[in-house]
Amino acid sequence: MSETTEPNVGSFTLGGPLTAEPAVPIEVPEHEEWQLPNGFAWVFPGENNRGLVRPVIMADGFNLGRSRLDVLYQGLESGYPFVSELRRRDRDVILLGFEERSASILDNAQAAKAAVQRAVAERLGGAPLVVGGFSMGGIVTRYALAELETEGIDHQTALYFSYDSPHRGASIPVGVQAFSHFIPLPNNFARQMNSPAARQMLWQHYDKDTGKTGVAPERTEFLAALDRIGHWPRRPRIVAVANGRGDGVGLPEVKPGEVALRIDQIYPGTTFYVQAQGDDVTAAYLNRRFPKAEKTITTSGFPELDGAPGGTLHTYGILAEAMEKLGGRVDLRHEDVCFVPSVSAVAVRDIAEQADLYVDIDELSPEESELDDFLCSSTTTAHTAITEELCGWLMDRLPD
């Protein structure tokens, strides 16, 4: 390490199970590859199908860089063999990837539209399509199907699904967002946090230029674009699953105001706190030696997001691991915090208010959701974790 700069801890990015290298590699079977505008797809035929017969398009989620469909495939086969089970049921699985996962959702929707139209063109017979995605992939395909309808194009899709997608926004702790820009070197972490897709999906975004937190202009523009195309596709049945619980129980061990992570030796004394309610609440204290700087990050009017019911992200665990690799000493109290609140994943309530964020979804009238049907996990699971409970529910709803 130079004596005049902090070590560059920003070579990592935040991601869920579907973007993590598997502990034990799983062999990816032979497949056809489609080249698409802003993306590409891998096509795995159903076990007894000769050609494309019953297509299921599943879109990749958010991270930095080009989609790694080998990693996505392995993630979808870990815990529960989702792709294999679909293929066993004679469904043709089309994994949709993007040239840049952090690009604008509107740009990546062009890849989804092209994949749908190619599947319709190459399909043998008249079986309807199933189209959806994981995390951001569910938002991309939602937009793509709705836009095709406004253009008068028949997408021939009978079921749209999303898997822990942030329909009402996602949450990365503001202190963590600010820290990515506090690193005094260009880095992947900052690029990820400031990317178009992150700015579109995050409920609140930290602006590195102003030092303020609020709704990013890109999110406002994206929500307006959704409004122009009617918010949702109208032809298909629309369903969703959430990795978070539906009974209003979040992460009771993640208590508001507590220390989540403290760093020493590098970025000495830098401390991140669990999000609490109130005004001028300290979310993080940031300190660096070269060039010398310190900053306190505060929030006002936030609900208790970090411990809310929802799919979790290994946010502080990933950050702590990066620090330790560089010789830092960490005091890690909470590895995981809520990333996509359950109410966001099943489009029931907005996440800005404490009462809405922690509402008992199971006790609400189903009409409160914008979806035709949904399922929340019976236990808190990691964002986009593939479970038999959620995948089995989705497969039971596939059209004949």
Identify whether residues 70 and 84 lie together within a single domain: yes
Identify whether residues 82 and 109 lie together within a single domain: yes
Model pLDDT for residues 170-229, shown as the tens digit of each residue: 999 999 999 999 988 888 999 999 999 999 999 999 999 999 999 999 999 999 999 999
Identify whether residues 312 and 192 lie together within a single domain: yes
Query: How many Cβ atoms sit within 10 Å of the Cβ of residue 32?
Result: 12
DSSP at 127: P
Identify whether residues 32 and 131 lie together within a single domain: yes
What is the distance between the alpha carbons of residues 140 and 100, in angstroms, rounded to a whole number?
13
Identify whether residues 227 and 373 lie together within a single domain: yes
What's the number of domains the chain is made of?
2
Identify whether residues 256 and 288 lie together within a single domain: yes
List the CATH number of the domain containing 85.
Answer: 3.40.50.1820
User: Which residues constitute the domain of residue 30?
Assistant: 17-168+222-249+362-396
pLDDT score at 290 = 86
pLDDT score at 9 = 59
pTM of the predicted model as reported, rounded to 2 decimal places: 0.96
Q: Is residue 29 part of a domain?
A: yes
pLDDT score at 15 = 87
* Distances from the Cα of 385 to the Cα of 70, 133, 222, angstroms: 16, 13, 27
Identify whether residues 265 and 191 lie together within a single domain: yes
Query: How many Cβ atoms sit within 10 Å of the Cβ of residue 353?
Result: 13
Q: Is residue 3 part of a domain?
A: no
Q: Helices (DSSP H) in 208-304: which residue ranges? A: 217-228
Model pLDDT for residues 243-272, shown as the tens digit of each residue: 999 999 999 999 999 999 999 988 999 999
pLDDT score at 6 = 58
* Distances from the Cα of 177 to the Cα of 38, 46, 193, 218, 282, angstroms: 27, 42, 6, 16, 14
Q: Is residue 354 part of a domain?
A: no
Q: Is 214 helix (H, G, I), strand (E, B) or coil?
A: strand
Q: Is residue 313 part of a domain?
A: yes
Identify whether residues 204 and 336 lie together within a single domain: yes
Identify whether residues 318 and 201 lie together within a single domain: yes
pLDDT score at 2 = 41
Q: Which of 225, 228, 226, 222 is nearest to 205 (CA)?
A: 222
Identify whether residues 292 and 370 lie together within a single domain: no
Question: pLDDT truncated to tens, each residue of the chain (400 aa)?
Answer: 344 455 665 577 888 889 888 777 888 999 999 999 999 999 999 999 999 999 999 999 999 999 999 999 999 999 899 999 999 999 999 999 999 999 999 999 999 999 999 999 999 999 999 999 999 999 999 999 999 999 999 999 999 999 999 999 999 999 999 999 998 888 899 999 999 999 999 999 999 999 999 999 999 999 999 999 999 999 999 999 999 999 999 999 999 999 999 999 889 999 999 999 999 999 999 999 889 999 999 999 999 999 999 999 999 999 999 989 888 899 999 999 999 999 999 999 999 999 999 999 999 998 899 999 999 999 999 999 999 999 999 999 999 8
Q: Is residue 271 part of a domain?
A: yes
Identify whether residues 278 and 321 lie together within a single domain: yes
Q: Which of 392, 310, 350, 305 is nearest to 135 (CA)?
A: 310
Residue 333 half-sphere exposure toward CB, CA atoms < 13 A: 17
What is the distance between the alpha carbons of residues 108 and 387, in angstroms, rounded to a whole number?
27
- At what angle are helices 136-150 and 217-228 packed, to 10 degrees? 40
Are 66 and 23 in contact by the 8 Å Cβ rule? The answer is: no
Identify whether residues 226 and 211 lie together within a single domain: no
Q: Is residue 98 part of a domain?
A: yes
Would strands 32-36 and 205-206 be described as parallel, antiparallel, or unpaired?
Answer: unpaired
Q: Is residue 353 part of a domain?
A: no
Q: Is residue 2 part of a domain?
A: no
- Single-letter amino acid, residue 346: V
pLDDT score at 296 = 97
